[in-house]
Amino acid sequence: MNPSIFKAYDIRGFYPQDLNENNIVIVVKAIYQFFTEKLSKADLTIVLGRDMRLSSPSLSEIAKKTLLDLGVTVVDIGLSSTPTVYFAVHHFKYDAGIQISASHNPKDWNGIKFFYRQRNKLTKVSKNTGMDEIKDLSLRNRFSFSKKPGKLISKDVLKDEVDYAYKLVNPKIKKFKVVVDTANAMGSLYIEEIFKRTNCELVKMNFNLDGTFPAHEANPIKFETLKPLQQKVIQEKADFGIATDGDGDRIFFIDEKGQIVPATLISALIAREILQKNKNEKILVDIRYTRNTVKVVKDLGGTPIINVVGHALITEHLNRVNGAFSGESSGHFFFRETGGAESAIRVIYYVMKAITKYKKPLSEIIHEFLSSYESSEFNFTLPKGTNNKTVLEKISLDYKNGEINWMDGLSVDYPNWRFNIRASNTESLIRLNLEADTEALMKQKLEEVTAKILSLGARSD
C-alpha cells in the first residue's frame, strides 16, 4: 500500500494503483477499529455515501461488504455530496460517516473522507485527529475481527437535508433566474432539490453526473473553470450564478454582471444574517483574508476569531469554541447546526434571502461588505531542497515593523494592508494572499512582496 495516500485531511490517490478494491478492505478495517476505540463501542451505525467517479461504485460496494462483515449497521445513502453524508450522521444521530470521493481531483483519482459524531459535534479525521493512526493500522494490517453479520439500511436523506437548511434560514425567495454549473458532479443533486421547491428559473450547465468530467475540472477555485458560467450569466441576463465542486462541499457565486464573488464576501453576507439575529455569536475568519469579514463582525457586535486553513481543522475549531459560522476563501462554509461541517445548501438560501430582502442585485449587496481589496492566491515553487520555513523567516525580517503572526504560515498586518504566506506541507511551494484598503495599494504591495519571494530563488507557479 502506498503510504502517501494518507493525506492531511482525507485518504486520496490514483485508482487503481494507489487505492483499489483490494486495499480498501484494509483501510476500511482500520477506520472501523479507529471508530470503535474513539466511540468506545463495537456496534456502530455508519453512513456510507459515494460520488459519481467511475471507480466509486465498486469501491463503495467493497467498503459496504467489509463493514457488514464487521457487524456494522450500514446506512447506504448512495450517490451523495459530502455535506449530505455530514448531515445524515449529525441529524439522525448515527455514529460515523464514510464518503467515497476524491473531491475536486481529476478523474483518475479516488479517495475516502471519514468522520465520527460525539453528541452534536462532528470530528473529521485529519492529520490532527487520527490520520496517522489510520495509516499505521492500515500499513500493519494485523486485524483479528471475528466475522459477524451486519445490517443494511438504504436511505434517501436529501429531502431532509434541504428541509433542514430551509428551516434554519427561513428565506423568502422571489422569482430568480439562476445559472448553475455543477461540473457533472455531486452538487447537481442538491441544486435540483432546492430549485424544484421554488418558482425560480434554473439554467443548468453540466448537470449530468459523469465521472470523466467532460466539461472541465470540478474545481471552482481554479477560476478559469468559471469562465463559461460567467459568460452564461451575462448571456441569460441571470440574477446570479453558482458553481460547485466535485463532492459538493465548496461553492462559488457569480454576480449578475458576470463577476466572481470572493468567498470572503459571501462569508461577510452570512455573518451579517447570523449576527442580526444574535450579535453575541463567534464567527471564525480565514487567516488568508481577514479584513472584510472582521469589519462586518465587529460592526455588528460579534466576536471574530482568526482561523487556520483546512476544512477539518476549521470544523474542529468551530466546535471547540462553539462558533456559529466560519467561511473559508476556498469556498467552504461551516455551521454549528451541522456539527461544524459544511452546508452549501444553507449558503444558497442565505444568498437568495439577502437579494430578496434587500431588493438589490447581488453585486450591490456584496459591494457593501467591500472594505479591503483581495489579490487572489499566488503560488510560488521554491528550489528543490529549500526549507519553506526558512524562506518565510527571511521574508519576515523585511516586515518586522508590522504585526507578525505565525499561527498558519507568516501573516503580517499593517493598518492599511496585510498579507499571509503559507507553505505547503508536502511540496516546496508557498502561497501568497494579500489585501489592502485600496486596489492601487493592493497591487503595489503585491508587486513588492512578490519581488521579495522571487529574490529568494522562487519561481511563479
Q: What is the DSSP code string of 66-134?
A: HHHHBT-EEEEEEE--HHHHHHHHHHTT-SEEEEE--TTS-TTEEEEEEEEEETTEEEE--TTTTHHHH
Degrees (nearest 5) of the Cα angle 323, 326, 330?
160
The pair phi, psi for residue 199, each rounded to 5°, is -100, 20
Cell 450517490, residue located: 79
The C-alpha atoms of residue 58 and residue 182 are separated, in whole angstroms, by 23
The answer to whether residues 378 and 282 touch, using CB atoms and an 8 Å cutoff, is: no
Q: What is the DSSP code string of 215-243?
A: SS-S-TTSGGGGHHHHHHHHHHT-SEEEE
For residue 16, say if its preceding peptide bond is cis, omega within 30 degrees of 0.
yes
DSSP state of 17: T
Determine whether 103 is an active site residue. Answer: yes
Helix boundaries (H) for 278-377: 291-299, 311-321, 344-358, 362-367
**Of 4, 190, 171, 197, which Cα lies nearest the Cα of 82?**
190
The answer to whether residues 60 and 50 touch, using CB atoms and an 8 Å cutoff, is: yes
What is the Rg, in whole angstroms, of the alpha carbon atoms belonging to the chain? 22
The C-alpha atoms of residue 173 and residue 350 are separated, in whole angstroms, by 10
End-to-end CA distance of the chain: 31
* β-bridge pairing 11-14 and 109-118: antiparallel
**Of 228, 224, 192, 226, which Cα lies nearest the Cα of 209?**
192
Residue in 55, 56, 60, 103 annotated catalytic:
103
The pair phi, psi for residue 325, each rounded to 5°, is -160, 150
Active site positions, annotated: 103
